[in-house]
Structure 1
Amino acid sequence: MPSWEPTVAAWVIFLVVYIVLAIGHLPVLNLDRTGVVFVGATAAVAFDVLSLQEAHHALDFHTLLLLFSMMICVSFLVQLGVLDYGLLFLDRFRSPRGLLWAIVWASGIGSALFINDVICLVLTPIVLQLASKRKVPPEPFLLAVAMASNIGSLATPIGNPQNMLIASLGEIRYPEFVVRLAPLSLFNLLVLGLVLQGMYRRVLKQAAAEPIERHALVSPAPLPRYVWVRTLAIMGGMVVGFWMGYSLAGVAALGAAAMMLTRRVQRARAFELIDWDLLVLFAGLFIVTAAAAKGGVLAHLYEGLAVLRPDTAVGFSCIVAVLSNSVGNVPAVFFLSGFVQQQANPTAWWFLLACVSTLAGNLTLVGSVANLIVAEKAKESAPLTFGAYLRVGVPVGVITLTLALGYWYLVWGR
């Protein structure tokens, strides 16, 4: 094959993959995002952009193992019914305003401890059930679940998939990640609660005026004490391992293995909640990005972005925000990872990338998978429209991103 052909192939593969990531699917062949990334990764090897060995080396098995292991852990918690006890916690808050704040903190803190997508999967039906029984409009509470899950997930490297990728590629240890970003995450959760309370004050006030009936909720089945002790011991051990600086993937894998040692959950059922599409998407993007780097695609694109001043925090943040709401936050991180590694202080830029790629997810309904999960789960009983989300998402996104930029300049910008 002539020397120029792999370069052309690299350009075609990269452009097709990222265009489909932006529009959602390839209409002609009915390929979704994951499918086109897999085809693109395969084509990169087939057209000699990468050798099979180079494609193998492009895979970051640490990130893939971390993501897979955390999915197993959360899946077991869901199947055991541990996370369903959030229903009993939220039902303690009798006023609509109190319930709103409880959802903000439950979704935010839960997403910091687990993957935010799964927290949305668990909390959305609970919130719908509470809203229905109390006869209150579900919209502000659904927005609280989605937006708080994005903001809360910023606090730790295991809160969302892009954080896992950033922590792995940037070699950022768990304690450093939490110490740097948890304060910002917690403060922005407070901001979110205030914005939602202000924008829905009439709805919440009217709902508060309605008499609240004692209602029969579908409570989770009681769990034996030993299940609680065992589960808390495993999760506590994982947090200690993370905090002591051990390998995130290694600790998560040990936790997942320990979770499997139970007879209460069948392994096949636990694997049902694993997002295999996301794992394939990650693996494929590792290869597509490596092919784009070898073919000179990324170097040319980084040069083309110079007019937007990506070497400044504001310019870089604008690029990340646009990419996160078009191709998605994970592909955006893959695309910009090479640029970050070229900076004089890459760690600072990794943190900025984590902040913006996560918080920009609140700007629009399609800004994060967590938002789409909430909308999908609620579509039958309480549809969450793009416009309704945008009305709240823009102010929340702009305020939290501005605070994140100010915080970044305060800590790293000097």
Structure 2
Amino acid sequence: MSFTAFAAFIQREKLAVGLLALLLVLCLIAPDQITHIPGLIDARTIAALGGLLCLTTALDLSGGLRWAAARLIDHAASQRTAALALVALTVIAAMFVTNDVALFIAVPLTLNLSRLTGQSSVRLVIFEALAANTGSLLTPIGNPQNLFLWQTSGVSFAAFAVAMAPLAAVLTAGLLLATWLAFPVRRLQSHEVEAGRTDRSLLTAALLLYPPFLIAVNAGWAVPAGLALLVLFLIFRTGVLARLDWALLLVFALMFVDLRLLAGLPTVSHVLSGLGEPHRLYGAAILLSQLISNVPAAIALEPFTHDWKTLSYGVNIGGFGLLPGSLANLIALRLLGQKGAWRSFHLWSIPALILAAAVGYWLLFG
């Protein structure tokens, strides 16, 4: 790799480079943890993410999402209608197939819609990220932190969903209102005469592989399922793997290592042990999520409290705000792939955090 290519990689993959630099610092602080680094990576999450990337890339290359975007243009009365449809789709999908999967469906569809109309996709992808965090908080299977807290709390699926329903209802209503206000009534117009050819065999394969892959992941077989997809595409469709965003997988692996090393430092662990009181727990869950993401925040705080509802409210609300608050945020902007989009993201997500935190506090303690 030439110096120019290396410099371009550094410029393009700032987050990965930053996480790698943090890892080096943490290794200097706690050198005895170096041998434990491989075990800090959640192989199931990486395998699930890799499999979803394979399937989404295949859908995109097949032209299927482009076709769906063209149909949306045909039926949507305006940009506002299209935005409401995609945001609502993301909210509903996130309740049942996790926030990450919802974004792997909605964002590529949005990007194809943008290519056909020539309109910017930045704001809509940002709203889809907010929608993924909003919809996923309702159910125990909506996101990884809920799944973890559901398992440790011992409550039923229904009891968990009922406890989260008031927050989900208020935030969903607010998000749909914001979407209605943020997008104009201007009609969508295609800039292309033809939406392009569709690779039906690749489209069919991707659609048929989605359900069994998701079932396997839900059953705890993410690693063998991810490896199976990798082998299938390696044999039959190597072009899909060539277009895969391998750097995103690196970012996620580094996040697991860095955040778990950080949470394991004695000083950090001592501070966390004093946060069991409900008001402190709620605030700590939100703030800690901003720093280390809401999944590690839930894992770090859970041993110090039995108040799973307050903790769940806090870490789910913590998914809004700063970009690291939720891994779904990183996925959305990564799929968007537009330089400087994080600035626009924070213009919407920080106010969303403030409002959601106020709503959550009122529902818990009001």
Match 1:128 to one of 100, 114, 120: 114
Q: Give the CA RMSD over aligned residues.
A: 4.7
Q: Which residue of 2 aligns with 1:269?
A: 242
Q: Which residue of 1 aligns with 2:82?
A: 99
The verdict on how the C-alpha distance between 1:64 and 1:142 changes in structure 2, with shifts beyond 3 A counting, is closer
Q: Which residue of 1 aligns with 2:268?
A: 298
Q: CA deviation at 1:214?
A: 6.2
Match 1:188 to one of 171, 175, 193: 171
Q: CA deviation at 1:247?
A: 1.2
Q: Does 1:90 align with 2:72?
A: yes
Deviations 1:61-93 (A, max 9, x none): 344433444334434433444444441243120
The verdict on how the C-alpha distance between 1:146 and 1:61 changes in structure 2, with shifts beyond 3 A counting, is closer
Q: Which residue of 1 aligns with 2:147?
A: 167
Aligned-partner residue type, residue 70 of structure 1: L
Q: CA deviation at 1:40?
A: 3.8
Q: Alignment partner of 2:236: what SS?
A: coil
- 1:14-413 equivalences under 5 Å are 32-40=17-25, 42-43=27-28, 47-48=31-32, 50=33, 52=35, 54-91=36-73, 92-109=75-92, 113=97, 114-115=100-101, 118=104, 122-129=108-115, 132=118, 141-154=124-137, 163-164=143-144, 167=147, 171=151, 176=157, 180=161, 185=168, 188-198=171-181, 200=182, 204-205=184-185, 207=186, 215-216=191-192, 219-224=195-200, 226-241=201-216, 246-247=219-220, 249=222, 252-253=225-226, 256-257=229-230, 260=233, 263-266=236-239, 268-273=241-246, 275-285=248-258, 288-289=261-262, 291-292=264-265, 296-302=266-272, 306=274, 311-312=277-278, 314-325=279-290, 327-329=291-293, 333-334=295-296, 337-345=299-307, 347-348=308-309, 351-360=312-321, 368-370=329-331, 372-373=333-334, 377=338, 386=343, 392-404=348-360, 409=364
**Aligned mates of 2:223, 2:158 — CA distance in 1:** 17
The verdict on how the C-alpha distance between 1:165 and 1:274 changes in structure 2, with shifts beyond 3 A counting, is farther
Tell me the number of residue pairs that the alignment of Structure 1 and Structure 2 aligns. Answer: 344
Q: CA deviation at 1:55?
A: 4.4
Highest Rg: 1 or 2? 1
The verdict on how the C-alpha distance between 1:123 and 1:73 changes in structure 2, with shifts beyond 3 A counting, is closer
The verdict on how the C-alpha distance between 1:262 and 1:274 changes in structure 2, with shifts beyond 3 A counting, is farther
Unaligned runs of 5+ in 2: 1-9
Unaligned runs of 5+ in 1: 1-24
Q: CA deviation at 1:278?
A: 1.9
Q: CA deviation at 1:152?
A: 3.9
Q: CA deviation at 1:322?
A: 3.3
The verdict on how the C-alpha distance between 1:69 and 1:131 changes in structure 2, with shifts beyond 3 A counting, is closer
Q: Given the two structures, how large is their TM-score scaled by the length of structure 1?
A: 0.63
Q: CA deviation at 1:101?
A: 0.8
Aligned-partner residue type, residue 359 of structure 1: F
Q: Given the two structures, how large is their TM-score scaled by the length of structure 2?
A: 0.69
